Structure 1
Amino acid sequence: MATHEPEGDPVSTTPSITPSIDSPLMTLHGQYITLRPLQLSDAPALYHSLAGPSNASLWTYIPGGPFLDLESFTAHIEFMCTGTVFIPFVLLSRNPAHIPSALSSAIPSGGIPVGVTALMSIVPAHHTIEIGHVVYSPLLQRSAASTEASFLLMKLCFEELRYERVEWKCNDRNTPSSNAAKRLGFSYEGTFRRHLVVKGRRRDTAWFSVIVEEWGLVKRVLESWLAEGNFEGGRQKERIEDVRERLAGKGE
């Protein structure tokens, strides 16, 4: 009698590791940036980097915000810290170029909070996880530090937590986020039409991913681009797109 086996490549049925905010794995040190679990006490310093009228545009594509006063922003940070939707991180920088002028007089050894991001859509049984809620200070955007922050999270997901698919999703109108995903090595998979309603408006969602078979090349590209030798006077010598083309051409 014929047997009917399920189709598809066999994979491990051992779930990936569920991130724990209390784990020492959740503090990530890079050359340009440090990530650690977000704390409510970060709110006042983060307010200068991410909130207030001058930063309202940062929240155009985020379900919350903008936050025009410290009280409402603190409530949002508390929601991120205490809710079950996110594993939230704060980005800490010691680079004076990333620090708002109001905070530049005294930079603690650990750095000043200049952004937030999170792990979300976490499904250990299916080995999938998402990097989302990315909100960086304008002073941090398009910097080596912002690239390194995403790289550190990707490395955590693939190598420490053993996920096999890392996702990046954004409003399909959010061109900077789509470009950031592609630049990091995520592949565009398609757009979910009428996916969500955000702030009373329809959101079509663009989906991107890196899967475990691609991680080796993605990692080498990002490590090579982030290397200290690729920068001189704070300016890149080789673009990340050129690094990717060079390494892919070598079959590395």
Structure 2
Amino acid sequence: MTDLTKWSARPEPNLPSITGRFVKIEPANFPHCSATLFPTICGPDDDDLWTYLPIGPFASPDDLATALVTVGADWKIHLILDAHTNEPLGTASFMRIRPNAGSAEVGCVVFSRRLQRTPAATEAMYLMARHIFEDLGYRRYEWKCDGENEPSKRAALRLGFQFEGVFRQDLVVKGRNRNTAWFSMLDSEWPIIKSAFEKWLNPANFDRDGQQREGLKDIRARL
């Protein structure tokens, strides 16, 4: 049994502007950033980005700002920007923050078409997880999604989260039932997960056409 007699509450997530190879992550400032963010994730073909989220889609930058300011009281919303052009690529938030338990969730992950399935998307998730475990010393990092959201469940497993189970009839979202799938990553697992992220993101892992030489899950299994 782990001895936690010397455990003390951790600070809340407070990720400043941080820049990687592909992306820059910074706290979102609404409504200031809504005008540039809106066309990236709320275009005419982007409604499906919001299917499994409790908010959206939105008809205007003002609607987007109003909704995110409202939920921002409980979420720490971050912008994901192109590290070279500063153009917005999407958002991700720290949620269900429990400093006394050393636990937080990454959620409301809305990746634009340009960001999806790219090294930049993986780097963004790596940088946010690193903040939780290394800057703050948290014990647990969560990922939760609608049980019908297969892409989100695949993403969680690829990133190194472990499936924990399903809360049946957990929520009513947009007039339908939501069963919630729970995933987690622990501080004891982070060293191998971190090493896999860094090996996967290394330029040597990609060929001249930008195709990966070894998958993230394969690297983690090898480690």
Interval of TM-score (by shorter of Structure 1 and Structure 2): over 0.9
Provide the secondary structure at the position in 1 that maps to 2:169: strand
Task: Output the TM-score relative to the length of structure 1.
Answer: 0.83
For residues 64 and 189 of structure 2, the distance between their equivalents in structure 1, rounded to whole angstroms, comes to 38
For residues 70 and 39 of structure 1, the distance between their equivalents in structure 2, rounded to whole angstroms, comes to 13
For residues 58 and 71 of structure 1, the distance between their equivalents in structure 2, rounded to whole angstroms, comes to 18
Provide the secondary structure at the position in 2 that maps to 1:245: helix
Which deviates more from structure 2 when the two are superposed, residues 8-17 or residues 197-206? 8-17
For residues 73 and 27 of structure 1, the distance between their equivalents in structure 2, rounded to whole angstroms, comes to 22
Q: Tell me which residue corresponds to 2:127.
A: 152
Q: Tell me which residue corresponds to 2:159.
A: 184
Pair 1:234 & 2:195 matched: no
The structure with more radius of gyration = 1
Pair 1:58 & 2:49 matched: yes
Q: Tell me which residue corresponds to 1:84.
A: 73
Q: Which amino acid aligns with 1:9?
A: T
Task: After the TM superposition, list the runs of 4 or more consecutive aligned residues in structure 1 that deviate by more than 6 angstroms.
Answer: none
Structure 1 gap segments, 5+ residues each = 1-7, 96-106, 248-252
Q: Tell me which residue corresponds to 1:98.
A: none
> What's the offset of the Cα at 1:45?
1.4
Structure 2 gap segments, 5+ residues each = none
Structure 2 counterparts to residues 131-150 of structure 1, below 5 A: 131-150=106-125
After superposition, give the CA deviation of every residue in 1:35-72 in whole Å (9 maximum; x if it has no partner).
00001222111111100321111000010011122331
For residues 105 and 21 of structure 2, the distance between their equivalents in structure 1, rounded to whole angstroms, comes to 23
How many residues are matched?
A: 220
Please provide the CA RMSD for this pair: 1.4
Provide the secondary structure at the position in 2 that maps to 1:85: coil
Cα pair 1:42 1:113 within 8 Å, conserved: no
Structure showing the higher helix proportion among its residues: 1
Task: Output the TM-score relative to the length of structure 2.
Answer: 0.94
For residues 17 and 118 of structure 1, the distance between their equivalents in structure 2, rounded to whole angstroms, comes to 16
Q: Which amino acid aligns with 1:36?
A: E
Cα pair 2:24 2:82 within 8 Å, conserved: yes
Identity level (%)? 38
Q: Tell me which residue corresponds to 1:9.
A: 2
Q: Tell me which residue corresponds to 1:243.
A: 219
Q: Which amino acid aligns with 2:122?
A: T
For residues 125 and 73 of structure 1, the distance between their equivalents in structure 2, rounded to whole angstroms, comes to 32
For residues 11 and 154 of structure 2, the distance between their equivalents in structure 1, rounded to whole angstroms, comes to 29
Cα separation, partners in 2 of 1:94 and 1:213, compared to 1, 3 Å:
closer
